[in-house]
């Protein structure tokens, strides 16, 4: 009987795990069975591209970081390198809303931390006292704190509140739709801690690093951010095509229970169209949000309850398309971000047709706004129509756009963004260690644990696939497993 690996969750993490299993099994000519169970009606999870009316519109992520090799490697493995598009290098600028006006983000910063003194000295985003406080970073001693601290606590003690509130927080926390004061330094931006320990000052460290690496384009001259011409969902579609002859990909199938059997194998119970089926498995990869993973593991692993400490934030994206002739605003940048204290429903705005010109017909302008972040979720309770009106009102205030959009598309992401709080790394390590000891054939992977970016998820999917392969092919596979599902209710 072929060993059977069950993957729960058909987002990019789960599909990459399946793809890795296929690669390894075919390299070594090993017979392996793989099933992916996905609760929703589509594969891809947070990766969702709408291709409509000549536009390529991302409802979820719009790009991946080119410098992280796992994303580009998967793109190569899938043979879609020719589809890669870099963000427009003519629109690298980012604006920040400040007292209701858009001000340019000072050039030469390391994620908001000054890496060049002149642009920082002249920015209108900070008062003279805010600048003076930030420059104290040059003389402040290293921290003697041990262990984790919040990203906000760390940045505030080095650079002061004003720089953090006006520049750094809207840039950094946006990645998590979070709050810098709640996110863990070690789990989100450990490189800042390294800068402090190596250079003492974040500014001096950023200046030193800048000498070795250009700020936003990589050495090949390509953009730091890449996407795929037909949208990021192309990645999911190619994974799907590639997995056809290897894995069973079952959508509309929710996993409701996971049990360890006395012979060391597992039983995965799923619900599909009102029926419950049980599947035997030699290894199981949970590539689900942490709260789902906790629920599935709880009965056999009480330590999994700790995963509930990983809170999730909801957000939404609002896409607006306008005829170019109706827009007077000069959309000469990738967009803007909005600090919390500006009290807007929009948290960030991408000028999609400027940043990614291939996404929009020549005569149209495409704008995407984010709504909702940790502690600012009121606008998410509005209906789609009211949220769109609120966003249009704010775009009028900020950009002077008075025109009616040709169409608006709202995509909601409820409980979608995992927050890496204090001690995140410790919590994940403890659960992983308990799994190794008590449920050795069960692995967890995905955005909740070791990085939320798509390349981080791909890396985790790959690693989980490799471990599941090792577990099922090096140990003698337990015998007597039924390969067909058993209907239990
Ligand atoms: C609005 C938004 C913008 C983003 N922007 C970027 C960006 O520009 N760049 C970037 O790199 N990253 C970005 N991210 C983050 C990135 O998209 C995600 O972290 C990543 O796609 C998560 O992949 P995943 O497979 O781990 O999880 P998911 O995509 O969440 O997949 C998990 C899957 O598990 C399924 N599932 C849940 N419960 C069950 C169950 N009981 N049984 C079976 N299946 C189940 C779900 O339906 C889902 O399909 C963004 C995220 C969002 C929401």
Q: Give the pLDDT confidence of 334-355 residue by residue, as tens digits.
A: 999 999 999 999 999 999 999 9
Distance 445 CA to ligand 1 centre (A): 11
Share of the chain above pLDDT 70, in %: 95
Check residue 216 and give left, alpha or beta (phi > 0: left; psi -120 to 50: alpha). alpha
Element (H, E) at 409: strand 407-418
- Looking from the CA of residue 411, the nearest atom of ligand 1 is 1
The answer, yes or no, to whether residue 488 has pLDDT greater than 50, is no
Task: Classify 153 as helix, strand or coil.
Answer: helix
Q: What is the mean pLDDT of residues 477-484?
A: 39
Looking at residue 91, its pLDDT comes to 80
Which distant-in-sequence residues (6+ apart) come within 8 Å of 365 by Cβ? 321, 322, 323, 324, 327, 331, 351, 353
Nearest CA to ligand 1 atom 33: 9
Distance 475 CA to ligand 1 centre (A): 32
Provide the 8-state DSSP code for 38. -
Among the residue ranges 55-59, 326-330, 389-393, 465-469, the one predicted with the least confidence is: 326-330
Q: Tell which CATH classification among 3.40.50.620, 3.90.660.20, 3.10.20.30, 3.40.50.300 matches the domain 49-69+80-90+312-418.
A: 3.90.660.20
CA 303 to chain centre: 25
Task: Classify 220 as helix, strand or coil.
Answer: coil
How far apart are alpha carbons 212 and 60 in whole angstroms? 33
The answer, yes or no, to whether residue 196 has pLDDT greater than 70, is yes
SS (H, E, C) 279-318: EEECEEEECCCHHHHHHHHCCCCHHHHHHHHCCEEEEEEE
Looking at residue 475, its pLDDT comes to 57
Report whether residue 10 contacts ligand 1, using a CB cutoff of 6 Å. yes
Q: Look over the chain and give the mean of its residue pLDDT values, rounded to a whole number.
A: 93
Looking at residue 220, its pLDDT comes to 41
153: confidence class by pLDDT, cuts 50, 70, 90: very high
CATH 3.50.50.60 fits 4-45+232-310+421-487, yes or no: yes
Looking at residue 212, its pLDDT comes to 78
Q: What is the mean pLDDT of residues 263-281?
A: 97
Across-strand partners of 407?
A: 321
Same fold, 4-45+232-310+421-487 and 108-212: no
Distance 149 CA to ligand 1 centre (A): 27
How far apart are alpha carbons 16 and 463 in whole angstroms? 9
Helices within 115-258 (DSSP H only): 117-122, 128-135, 151-159, 161-163, 169-172, 185-188, 190-199, 202-212, 233-243
Looking at residue 222, its pLDDT comes to 61
Q: Give the pLDDT confidence of 378-431 residue by residue, as tens digits.
A: 999 999 999 999 999 999 999 999 999 999 999 999 999 999 999 999 999 999
Report whether residue 9 contacts ligand 1, using a CB cutoff of 6 Å. yes
Task: Classify 97 as helix, strand or coil.
Answer: strand
Domain residue ranges in the chain: 4-45+232-310+421-487, 49-69+80-90+312-418, 108-212
Distance 440 CA to ligand 1 centre (A): 25
Both tokens assigned to 110: 């390391």
**The domain 108-212 belongs to what CATH superfamily?**
protoporphyrinogen ix oxidase, domain 3 (1.10.3110.10)
Distance 57 CA to ligand 1 centre (A): 17
- Looking from the CA of residue 15, the nearest atom of ligand 1 is 25
Looking at residue 214, its pLDDT comes to 55
Helices within 184-224 (DSSP H only): 185-188, 190-199, 202-212
Task: Classify 411 as helix, strand or coil.
Answer: strand
Looking at residue 1, its pLDDT comes to 84
CA 375 to chain centre: 19
């Amino acid at each position: 009987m072929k060993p059977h690996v069950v993957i729960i969750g058909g987002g990019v993490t789960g599909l990459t795990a399946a793809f890795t299993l296929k690669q390894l099994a075919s390299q070594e000519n090993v017979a392996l069975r793989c099933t992916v169970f996905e609760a929703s009606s589509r594969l891809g999870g947070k990766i969702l591209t709408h291709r409509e009316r000549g536009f390529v519109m991302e409802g979820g992520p719009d790009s991946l970081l080119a410098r992280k090799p796992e994303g580009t490697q998967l793109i190569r493995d899938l043979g879609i390198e020719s589809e890669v598009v870099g963000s427009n290098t003519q629109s690298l600028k980012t604006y920040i809303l400040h007292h209701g006006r858009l001000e340019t983000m000072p050039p030469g910063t390391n994620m908001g931390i000054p890496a060049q003194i002149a642009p920082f000295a002249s920015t209108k985003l900070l008062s003279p006292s805010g600048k003076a406080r930030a420059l104290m970073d040059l003389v402040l001693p290293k921290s003697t704190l041990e262990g984790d601290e919040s990203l906000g606590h760390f940045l505030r003690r080095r650079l002061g509140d004003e720089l953090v509130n006006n520049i750094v927080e809207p840039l950094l926390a946006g990645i998590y739709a979070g709050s810098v004061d709640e996110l863990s330094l070690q789990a989100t931006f450990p490189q800042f801690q390294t800068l402090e320990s190596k250079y003492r000052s974040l500014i001096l460290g950023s200046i030193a690093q800048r000498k070795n690496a250009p700020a936003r384009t990589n050495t090949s001259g390509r953009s730091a951010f890449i996407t795929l011409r037909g949208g990021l969902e192309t990645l999911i579609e190619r994974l799907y095509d590639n997995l056809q002859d290897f894995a069973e990909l079952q959508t509309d199938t929710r996993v409701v229970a996971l049990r360890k059997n006395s012979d060391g194998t597992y039983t995965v119970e799923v619900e599909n169209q009102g029926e419950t089926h049980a599947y035997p498995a030699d290894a199981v990869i949970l590539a689900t949000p942490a709260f789902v993973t906790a629920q599935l593991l709880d009965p056999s692993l009480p330590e999994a309850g700790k995963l509930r400490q990983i809170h999730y934030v909801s957000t939404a994206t609002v896409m607006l398309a306008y005829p170019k002739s109706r827009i007077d605003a000069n959309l000469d940048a990738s967009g803007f971000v909005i600090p919390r204290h500006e009290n807007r429903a929009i948290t960030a705005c991408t000028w999609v047709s400027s940043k990614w010109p291939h996404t929009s017909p020549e005569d149209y302008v495409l704008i995407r706004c984010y709504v909702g972040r940790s502690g600012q979720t009121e606008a998410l309770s509005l209906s789609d129509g009211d949220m769109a009106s609120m966003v249009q009102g704010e775009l009028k205030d900020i950009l002077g756009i008075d025109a009616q959009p040709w169409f608006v598309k709202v995509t909601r992401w409820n409980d979608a963004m995992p927050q890496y709080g204090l001690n995140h790394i410790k919590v994940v390590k403890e659960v992983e260690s308990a799994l190794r000891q008590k449920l050795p054939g069960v692995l967890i992977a995905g955005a909740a644990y070791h990085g939320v970016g798509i390349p981080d998820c791909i890396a985790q999917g790959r690693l989980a696939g490799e471990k599941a392969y090792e577990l099922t092919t090096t140990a003698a596979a337990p015998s007597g497993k039924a390969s067909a599902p058993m209907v239990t209710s």
